[in-house]
């Protein structure tokens, strides 16, 4: 598979951490890679190095066959020649300019007709046409972020880099904009890398995912695969949610939604909105194992399963469950495992209350 972006960089901080991150991302315009990890993991550092704003002590970066950085060879392409669009936590719009001038600023000394045409094109695509004559102070948080995205796209970047783009917004606005931002990134048809530490944001925005722990990329893969099958204990602790099943909302009633995911039908709280593609997310400790066939209640999903494997994790036992087309992971105490006689091949029922099934909508899933 042809690679669009490869990097292997080391950034050292005196008396502080060492960030050594490497990855190879395929050429796939409009697809979104999430750089995920806890605060202090080095996510923003990696983004700044890719943009050319920080220079690492060692390493290489190449994009679409062009070497952007080779420290050993003394090669370091400046930020303006890399043509990477940047969107930060704070939109950082010019307060004295209206929206049209803010977006057009990224076009530098382009002829006025060309600049105006590009601003109108982006305003139509990002649905900010009614805002063009307004100043940043007169915009909502979500509107400012859309304007900032338009400015980042104005110069036709080859790569789009977004650093916690929704973190400065209040929770309701952030929740509302996740799906919208995903749709906007798809429409831009530019490969994008989004830094976040928010699990719901990673699920809603990303196609693939790089998990950064302690300055090192510990796992890379499709978003739902990384959440469902973490490569090691540290990745599992970082991503938090053990069961992430891609699916589709097939029914809605009374504030609940039914998702068909990997051959299972799971009922959870309806997230609202018109998007049908979604992830059904369940934490392992929310799955209760019972003797087959189990006891169904109105508040529970009941899934027939076979124990695939058991792994002791201190006071708990991680139980991998074969549910036909899907694999679920449950966490139970040793006492519960012994009482149920859990062993590979044992048939059980997995019960999950509807409120424990988190449905995360996603455009273009």
Over residues 246-299, the pLDDT tens digits come to 899 999 988 899 999 888 999 998 888 777 888 888 989 899 999 987 666 655
Specify the CATH class of 244-361 in words.
mainly beta
Percent of the chain having pLDDT more than 90? 52
The owner of tokens 């792994």 is 311
**Under 8 Å CB-to-CB from 26, ≥6 apart: which residues?**
1, 2, 3, 4
pLDDT score at 12: 92
Question: Chain-wide mean pLDDT for the chain?
Answer: 88
pLDDT score at 364: 52
Instruction: Identify the three-state secondary structure at position 188.
Output: helix
Whole-angstrom distance, CA of residue 280 vs CA of residue 270: 11
With beta carbons less than 8 A apart as the criterion, state whether 326 and 292 touch: no
pLDDT score at 296: 65
What are the φ and ψ backbone dihedral angles of 344, each rounded to 5 degrees? -55, 130
**Under 8 Å CB-to-CB from 15, ≥6 apart: which residues?**
none
Threshold 0.85, pTM exceeds: no
Whole-angstrom distance, CA of residue 182 vs CA of residue 283: 24
Percent of the chain having pLDDT more than 70? 96
Q: Which of 73, 69, 62, 58 is nearest to 10 (CA)?
A: 58
Measured CA to CA in angstroms, residue 160 lies from 56, 153, 326 at distances of: 20, 8, 34
Task: Please state the separation of Cα 338 from the chain's center in Å.
Answer: 38
Whole-angstrom distance, CA of residue 61 vs CA of residue 249: 40
With beta carbons less than 8 A apart as the criterion, state whether 96 and 131 touch: no
Domain boundaries, the chain: 3-239, 244-361
CATH no. for 3-239: 3.40.50.300
Q: Which of 38, 37, 27 is nearest to 1 (CA)?
A: 27
Whether the per-residue pLDDT at 3 is higher than 80: the answer is no
Report which of residues 103 and 272 the model is more confident about.
Answer: 103
Asked if the domains at 3-239 and 244-361 fall in one CATH topology, the answer is no
With beta carbons less than 8 A apart as the criterion, state whether 112 and 83 touch: no
pLDDT score at 60: 97
pLDDT score at 365: 45
Whether the per-residue pLDDT at 135 is higher than 90: the answer is yes
Whole-angstrom distance, CA of residue 333 vs CA of residue 319: 10
Whether the per-residue pLDDT at 356 is higher than 50: the answer is yes
Whether the per-residue pLDDT at 1 is higher than 50: the answer is no
Over residues 39-91, the pLDDT tens digits come to 888 999 999 999 999 999 999 999 998 999 999 999 999 998 999 988 888 88
**Under 8 Å CB-to-CB from 117, ≥6 apart: which residues?**
none
Q: What is the largest CA-CA distance in the chain?
A: 76
Whole-angstrom distance, CA of residue 153 vs CA of residue 210: 24
Q: DSSP labels for 200-256? A: HHHHHH-SEEEEEETTEEEEEEEHHHHHHS-SSHHHHHHH---EEEEEEEEEEETTE
């Amino acid at each position: 598979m042809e690679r669009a972006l490869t990097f292997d960089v080391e950034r050292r901080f005196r008396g502080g951490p060492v960030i050594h991150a490497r990855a190879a991302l395929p050429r796939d315009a409009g697809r979104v890679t999430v750089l995920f990890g806890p605060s202090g993991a080095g996510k923003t550092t990696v983004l700044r190095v890719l943009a050319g704003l920080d220079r690492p002590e060692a390493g290489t970066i190449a994009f679409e066959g062009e070497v952007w950085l080779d420290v050993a060879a003394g090669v370091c392409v400046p930020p303006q020649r890399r043509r990477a669009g940047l969107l930060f936590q704070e939109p950082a719009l010019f307060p004295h300019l209206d929206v049209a001038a803010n977006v057009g600023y990224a076009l530098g000394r382009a002829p006025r007709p060309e600049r105006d045409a590009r601003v109108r094109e982006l305003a139509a695509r990002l649905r900010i046409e009614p805002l063009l004559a307004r100043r940043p102070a007169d915009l909502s948080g979500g509107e400012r972020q859309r304007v900032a995205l338009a400015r980042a796209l104005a110069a036709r970047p080859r790569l789009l880099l977004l650093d916690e783009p929704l973190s400065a917004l209040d929770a309701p606005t952030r929740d509302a904009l996740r799906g919208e931002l995903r749709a906007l990134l798809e429409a831009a048809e530019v490969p994008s890398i989004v830094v976040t530490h928010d699990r719901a944001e990673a699920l809603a925005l990303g196609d693939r995912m790089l998990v950064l722990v302690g300055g090192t990329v510990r796992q890379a893969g499709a978003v739902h695969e990384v959440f469902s099958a973490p490569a090691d204990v540290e990745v599992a602790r970082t991503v938090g949610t053990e069961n992430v099943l891609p699916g589709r909302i097939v029914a809605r009633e009374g504030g609940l939604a039914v998702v068909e995911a990997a051959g299972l039908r799971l009922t959870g709280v309806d997230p609202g909105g018109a998007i049908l593609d979604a992830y059904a997310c369940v934490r392992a400790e929310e799955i209760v194992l019972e003797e087959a066939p189990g006891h169904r209640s109105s508040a529970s999903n009941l899934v027939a399963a076979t124990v695939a494997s058991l792994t002791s994790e201190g006071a708990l036992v991680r139980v991998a469950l074969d549910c036909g087309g899907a694999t679920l992971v449950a966490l139970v105490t040793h006492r519960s495992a012994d009482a149920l006689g859990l062993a590979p091949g044992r048939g059980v029922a997995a019960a999950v209350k509807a409120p424990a099934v988190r449905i995360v909508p996603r455009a273009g899933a």
